[in-house]
Amino acid sequence: MRLAPLLALFCPAATFAGDFDPASVDLAALIECRADAPGYNGFALWLAGEPCATGTLGWKEIPSENPFLRQYRLPVPLHVFGLETTAIVFTATGPMAVLDGVAAPELARKLAIPATISTPDKFLGEKVVIDETEVADGVTFATRIALNVSTVDSHPGKVLAGCSYAIDVK
């Protein structure tokens, strides 16, 4: 039984936050840093603020042993970085694919991401894609988008790869 049609009965489209259209979500683009920060932020605000958002997308939340990650199972496989996954996580700053069948250093090399930490037990790499500052009406907007590859203890044998989006307003 699909949950999304049932949720539609209890969460009509009129309750969706703002003008955000869930059909417009390109999850692969968000994960691969092919989206802009305002686009990601609009999606993230809708996802966090709309009680039926994950059901609308057909996602199922999976309990995570990591308190810093919210994990979801996708209704259909997602293709990112030339790989396929049915699981994603959200960090405080963005979405990441949960990948099998690839080593973190190998994927980082493929994506030209330098390693910050590379040991047999831990990998962490980041490549800044956008780092811009602009001033409008006396307000400074600093935008930073970075592609990340990592391993975490809560997901043994898996590689997390995705994007972080940050806008700092001063």
**Rg (alpha carbons) of the chain, rounded to whole number:** 17
HSE, CB side, 13 Å, CA atoms: give it for residue 119.
Answer: 4
What are the tokens at 93? 């700053």
3-class DSSP state of 128:
strand
| Average predicted confidence (pLDDT) for the chain | 88
pLDDT in tens, 63-118: 988 999 999 999 999 999 999 999 999 999 999 999 999 999 999 999 999 999 99
Beta strand pairing status for 115-118 and 95-99?
unpaired
Contact of 25 with 57, CB cutoff 8 Å: yes
Contact of 60 with 88, CB cutoff 8 Å: no
Other C-beta atoms lying within 10 Å of the C-beta of residue 93:
17
Contact of 78 with 65, CB cutoff 8 Å: no
Instruction: Enter the pTM of the model.
Output: 0.86
pLDDT for res 12: 40
